[in-house]
Structure 1
Amino acid sequence: MQADQPADPPPPFDVAKAAALMRDSPAGMAVFDTELRYLYVNPALERLNGIPAAAHLGKAVAEVLPGVDAAEEVMRAVLADGKPREAMSSGHTWASVPEGERFWQGAYHRLEEAGEVCGLVGVVLEISVAHHQQRELEQARSYLSLLDTASATIGTTLDMDTTCRELVDFVVPALADVAVVEVFPPEVGHAVRRPPEGVVRLRRAAMALGPALRDTVSPFGAAGEYIDYQQDAAVQRCLATNRPVIENLYSDEQLDRSAPTRGRVAGYRAVGLHSAVIVPLTARGRPLGVLALARTGDSPVFTEGGDVVIARELAGRAAVDLDHARRYAHEHTIARELQRSLLSEPRGPHPHVQVASRYRPADEGALVGGDWFDVIPLRDGRHLKAMGDVMGHGVEAAVAMSHYRSILRAVAEDDMEPHRILQRLDDAVVRSGVDRAATCLLAVVDRYGGICRLASAGHLPPVFLDPGAPRARVAAHMPVGPPLGSGFGGYETTDVPCGPGTVLFMYTDGLVERRGEDIDVSVGRLASLTLPASGRLEDLLDEVLDRFAEDAEDDIAVLASRVHEGVSFSHHG
């Protein structure tokens, strides 16, 4: 039995013939032996790879181009079965190009001579420009989709902190591992200490962390705190130039300069923070604060293009929503403070008259309204009580409310019937130029006569709670004239029994008016009111608000009074 003979080596490849065919081709071309070592490289491939042909010969691709993913598994498959294949490669060659990472499309064919496999030929075309353009197009489409989504998810309310939370939740993890929104403190409604000279003080309104950071002890602080930034901090530079500031934090010195406090540098290092960008939040030429984004771990650094461009676009859109929210909050605060200052507690009109009042503003999502009340002493133990509601909301409504109350005090006279007072009030309002209508209910109580004289200008009826009675009386059938400010007049006075101990309860529509419910049904529920066991008017009002004001959508003013012989006046709330 003969010993196995070694396999014959593959036939030699005619390199000269290949050179004649490939030399002038604009595509990069190479011939490999069966071990995928270079046998020939044409001039075009020399230029692509950035080294001469001689540096290729006899070496594998990985030896010549260690920075290139050459798809050798595809080349070996072509050698094995002879089926031509294409593959894309990427990486960096020795040629210096400005595009950074490069991309090539390669086509591979097996070479055979006299039926024997003798090597492989590869044809390579660079597609870097087209690939980058395609990637930029896909990124642009992604950014447009991101912006479309942002329009629906950021700025859904007129609350600043909610808008800030929506912004940070949106950009993490889409653009960053950490996102923080910090804003200048409000100008009114908050007492914040003044920062030192040259220091910018911001309030951290919202913060979001990526999934990998949520279980760690955050070195980024917490929402709600105030942070001081020194003059060389990125935040100050961002606000001064109204442009994004990119900080690639390679050294502790850079981290120290960017951190709001030096104690946080170690925490930043612990989570691998290495890149940050500060984006201004500006609306109508006014800085509102900053959006700060940070990346940690293996996330890429921020650069001038790409993510920073989209971050600035998102910040610009969010700034418009924040400006609306800030202006709303500013007006809301002024209106509320004005209304509270004008709704001073009614003074006791007489030692034998008890009065209690409450004012409850609507939820934070609604502007302050023009609810008002007043108690004016008259002669002979009588007193005039007024409950009104100016149409609309905001500062204008609060100011109009103050005008109505001042005019009422000027026109009310001792011997005048309630409907005559309303008529004079209506005429005076029309002459004064106040452009907001108002409802108003007047009640004149005669503690000796045991009656209450009522007149209404578009206002809801009062409620009477008699001592020992199982249910309250709603004056639902009293005549109701047009609202004040219309100039139509036509008011009437109605007498209702109101003896000693009977409580007169007056209110604005925010207490009972509910969307989708008939107002008569809403008012009818007030007939279930009874005097509390304590007999205190303050307890009655607390019970009323607990029962009826929970889902109110408007401001509420309530007033309770009674004539009670032998009891001195007391008032709280």
Structure 2
Amino acid sequence: MGTPEPTTVGGWLVQAEACDDGMPTSFDPGTIAALFDGNPAGVAVLDHHLRYTYVNPALERLNGLPASSHIGRVFAEVLPDLSGQAAVLRAVLADGKPREETVGGQTWALSPDDERFWRATYHRLEAGGAACGLMAIIVEITDIARQRAELEQARGHVTLLSTAAARIGTTLDLDTTCRELAAFVVPAFADVAAVDVFPPDVGHAVRRPDPGVLRLRRAALRGVGVLDEQVQRFGHPGEYVDFAADSAVARCLADNQPVLDDWAAPGRSALTAERITASRALGLREALVVPLTARGNPIGALSLVRAEGSPAFTDQDPAVAREIAVRAAVGLDHARRYDHEHSIARELQRSLLSEPYGPHPHVEVATRYLPADRDVLVGGDWFDVVPLRDGRHLKAMGDVMGHGVEAAVAMSHYRSMLRVLASEDLPPHQILERLDSMVERSGVDRAATCLLAVVDRFAGACEVASAGHLPPVFIDPGAAGARIVTVPVGPPLGAGFGGYATASVPCGPGTVLFMYTDGLVERRGEDIDVSVRRLSSLTLPLSGRLDDLLDEVLDRFGEEAEDDIAVLASRIREGPPVLRPPLG
């Protein structure tokens, strides 16, 4: 051994021993121990071969090994699970620049944490101007790292929740809202998401499920990457899915609480076990199900599934998922209430638009009703055909102002009163006057436009009266265009002003009377007279069929409609009457 040379460690003068090649290899143990044994941070001194020469008690506790298991060994031999340190240590030894880094992994010390973290500082020790080793000071920061990760996760959750309201519920369509919810949580919160809702009350017949089985309608299903196609085997959107009583979805809805499903739980029903087995075959590992509830009423459930490789659900995730579900449920509730009202109005309008009696056998009638976009509430458009004495018949086309159930109900009142008045065999303008008076007395608070036409096939004439409605169109056989007939127009019904007049229009056999509501022609930014004049280009199709005429009309004018459209075409049959079976 050579002559010891002094060196400085942490501001203290320490005696170093030199090896045969003149390089200092270790330091006086007593001096080092006096300096660092009581330090709460882990301290290690390594020689120029990066072998441990000193370890203080704090580092013994951190590493879970006594000092004797360190001395004379390099870092990788003592802690094989913490790789990558040798390159950093050699760099500090070579250039003398101190370095600080965060190290993660596990040591031999028992710990409840899956992964621990340390902040390590390395600086070179010198003696006589030459590098003689390194000192490492290590402080465990596992709690700080965990708190930081939790803080980042909380910030992520806040960001996630703050954007939920903007991205979920952008329309009043229930299925669209469900798809937005599924797209929002995948992949930000789950690898697969399913939204299942209770079937609506109106307009959807659902086969009764087996006892003990919960049947929901799958409204949305979303998976990340290839999972998006693979999970379709569990039920495409629009299909009904059955859940056993022991399934997470059924338990979630029964208790109105989030359920973190334990797929390893024994005693599962065959239906639930089969679904779990199929999920595991796709690499899915666990599911979190949260209820979708608004105003105390259950709407359905949101199922969140994570696959192998994704982090497991934490204790905070059910609360975050529940908050997302609460915010989404508000939009779903609005959509469901709209859909409920929309369905009632549709059903009511559909029933009212059906012909109560078959028209006279000498009269041919075709009708169409085209609703506007689903985002537009149903309107109060209606039409009716009422047979009269002497082979005549009354045709009516009306439009109640406004939309929704109230408009459809008001429309039913108008139609009912009109049928009563039609039986009195009055001219059209008197029917409108009586109807206007009856509406005012009945309390119906929605005005309506109406066009009445009474066709007399023997006289070859059509008597027409209008209450604020658009003019009728007549298409004569073989004509190159249609006649838009200007008739006296009185005020809309319900105003109580009266003042209607009847005009007589030639209408022989084969002439088609075409009636319509404003949804067919009214366009934003265009004068209504210009829109109506386009109807003068109407001609009978080559087939001569009224149904084909209406199809062509809707194809030409219905695409850009912003309101519901009702159209009616009628004509007197030529030749012997064609008997039809009664409707209903």
| Pair 218,62 (structure 1): closer, same or farther in 2 beyond 3 Å | farther
| Pair 35,260 (structure 1): closer, same or farther in 2 beyond 3 Å | farther
Alignment deviations for residues 482-526 of structure 1 (CA, whole Å, 9 cap, x no partner): 221222333333332223332211111122223333222221111
What residue number does 2:457 align with?
A: 447
* Greater CA drift, 353-362 or 13-22: 353-362
* Greater CA drift, 7-16 or 365-374: 7-16
Letter in 2 for 1:449: A
Alignment deviations for residues 34-76 of structure 1 (CA, whole Å, 9 cap, x no partner): 2333322334334444554444433434444444457332222
Pairing partner for 1:518 from 527, 531, 545 = 527
What residue number does 1:31 align with?
A: 45
Instruction: Kindly indicate whether the alpha-carbon contact (under 8 Å) linking 1:74 and 1:87 is maintained by their aligned counterparts in 2.
Output: no
Tell me the distance in 2 between the aligned counterparts of 1:538 and 1:366: 26
Deviation of the 1:429 alpha carbon: 0.8
Tell me the distance in 2 between the aligned counterparts of 1:361 and 1:349: 25
What residue number does 2:287 align with?
A: 276
Pairing partner for 1:91 from 83, 105, 109 = 105
* Greater CA drift, 351-360 or 81-90: 351-360
Any idea what SS the aligned residue of 1:12 has? strand
Paired residue total = 564
Tell me the distance in 1 between the aligned counterparts of 2:269 and 2:81: 35
Letter in 1 for 2:542: A
Pairing partner for 2:307 from 296, 303, 313 = 296
Q: Does 1:498 align with 2:516?
A: no
Q: Does 1:200 align with 2:214?
A: yes
Deviation of the 1:263 alpha carbon: 4.3
What residue number does 1:404 align with?
A: 414
| Pair 454,550 (structure 1): closer, same or farther in 2 beyond 3 Å | same
What residue number does 2:238 align with?
A: 224
* Greater CA drift, 365-374 or 257-266: 257-266
Tell me the distance in 2 between the aligned counterparts of 1:544 and 1:314: 47
What residue number does 2:567 align with?
A: 558
Deviation of the 1:528 alpha carbon: 0.9
| Pair 265,24 (structure 1): closer, same or farther in 2 beyond 3 Å | closer
Deviation of the 1:248 alpha carbon: 4.9
| Pair 243,51 (structure 1): closer, same or farther in 2 beyond 3 Å | farther
Q: How does 1:363-374 map to 2 (within 5 A)?
A: 363-374=373-384
What residue number does 2:467 align with?
A: 457
Letter in 2 for 1:545: L
Q: How does 1:232-251 map to 2 (within 5 A)?
A: 232-249=246-263, 251=264
Q: How does 1:530-549 map to 2 (within 5 A)?
A: 530-549=539-558
Deviation of the 1:344 alpha carbon: 2.0
Question: In percent, how many aligned pairs have the same letter?
Answer: 66
Deviation of the 1:460 alpha carbon: 1.0
| Pair 316,570 (structure 1): closer, same or farther in 2 beyond 3 Å | farther
Tell me the distance in 2 between the aligned counterparts of 1:462 and 1:214: 53
What residue number does 1:347 align with?
A: 357
Deviation of the 1:570 alpha carbon: 5.8
Letter in 2 for 1:126: E
Tell me the distance in 2 between the aligned counterparts of 1:121 and 1:19: 14
Alignment deviations for residues 70-95 of structure 1 (CA, whole Å, 9 cap, x no partner): 73322221112211111111223455
Deviation of the 1:562 alpha carbon: 2.5
Deviation of the 1:210 alpha carbon: 1.7
| Pair 291,222 (structure 1): closer, same or farther in 2 beyond 3 Å | same
What TM-score, normalized by structure 1, do the two folds share? 0.89
* Greater CA drift, 60-69 or 132-141: 60-69
Letter in 2 for 1:525: R
Letter in 2 for 1:548: F
Tell me the distance in 1 between the aligned counterparts of 2:285 and 2:423: 76
Q: Gaps (5+ residues) in structure 2? A: 1-18
What TM-score, normalized by structure 2, do the two folds share? 0.88
Tell me the distance in 1 between the aligned counterparts of 2:425 and 2:218: 60
| Pair 104,517 (structure 1): closer, same or farther in 2 beyond 3 Å | same
Deviation of the 1:162 alpha carbon: 2.1
Tell me the distance in 1 between the aligned counterparts of 2:126 and 2:143: 35
Deviation of the 1:396 alpha carbon: 1.6
Letter in 2 for 1:58: G
Pairing partner for 1:527 from 529, 536, 553 = 536
Instruction: Kindly indicate whether the alpha-carbon contact (under 8 Å) linking 2:290 and 2:302 is maintained by their aligned counterparts in 1.
Output: yes
Q: Gaps (5+ residues) in structure 1? A: none
| Pair 551,261 (structure 1): closer, same or farther in 2 beyond 3 Å | farther
Instruction: Kindly indicate whether the alpha-carbon contact (under 8 Å) linking 2:221 and 2:232 is maintained by their aligned counterparts in 1.
Output: no
Instruction: Kindly indicate whether the alpha-carbon contact (under 8 Å) linking 1:172 and 1:179 is maintained by their aligned counterparts in 2.
Output: yes
Instruction: Kindly indicate whether the alpha-carbon contact (under 8 Å) linking 2:473 and 2:484 is maintained by their aligned counterparts in 1.
Output: yes
What residue number does 2:323 align with?
A: 313
What residue number does 1:75 align with?
A: 89
Instruction: Kindly indicate whether the alpha-carbon contact (under 8 Å) linking 2:26 and 2:53 is maintained by their aligned counterparts in 1.
Output: no
Any idea what SS the aligned residue of 1:486 has? coil
Deviation of the 1:13 alpha carbon: 0.9
| Pair 45,76 (structure 1): closer, same or farther in 2 beyond 3 Å | same
| Pair 272,467 (structure 1): closer, same or farther in 2 beyond 3 Å | closer
Tell me the distance in 2 between the aligned counterparts of 1:261 and 1:238: 14
Instruction: Kindly indicate whether the alpha-carbon contact (under 8 Å) linking 2:395 and 2:454 is maintained by their aligned counterparts in 1.
Output: yes
Deviation of the 1:463 alpha carbon: 0.3
What residue number does 1:160 align with?
A: 174
Instruction: Kindly indicate whether the alpha-carbon contact (under 8 Å) linking 2:25 and 2:47 is maintained by their aligned counterparts in 1.
Output: no
Instruction: Kindly indicate whether the alpha-carbon contact (under 8 Å) linking 1:69 and 1:89 is maintained by their aligned counterparts in 2.
Output: no
Tell me the distance in 1 between the aligned counterparts of 2:229 and 2:239: 21
Letter in 2 for 1:277: L
Tell me the distance in 2 between the aligned counterparts of 1:259 and 1:144: 39
RMSD, aligned CA = 2.9
Letter in 2 for 1:325: A
Instruction: Kindly indicate whether the alpha-carbon contact (under 8 Å) linking 1:11 and 1:113 is maintained by their aligned counterparts in 2.
Output: no
| Pair 215,286 (structure 1): closer, same or farther in 2 beyond 3 Å | closer
Any idea what SS the aligned residue of 1:36 has? coil
Alignment deviations for residues 152-189 of structure 1 (CA, whole Å, 9 cap, x no partner): 33222222222222222232222222222222222222
Tell me the distance in 1 between the aligned counterparts of 2:568 and 2:385: 10
Tell me the distance in 2 between the aligned counterparts of 1:438 and 1:406: 14
Instruction: Kindly indicate whether the alpha-carbon contact (under 8 Å) linking 1:443 and 1:455 is maintained by their aligned counterparts in 2.
Output: yes
Instruction: Kindly indicate whether the alpha-carbon contact (under 8 Å) linking 1:345 and 1:357 is maintained by their aligned counterparts in 2.
Output: no
Tell me the distance in 2 between the aligned counterparts of 1:175 and 1:490: 66
What residue number does 2:386 align with?
A: 376
Tell me the distance in 2 between the aligned counterparts of 1:80 and 1:177: 47
Tell me the distance in 2 between the aligned counterparts of 1:258 and 1:109: 63
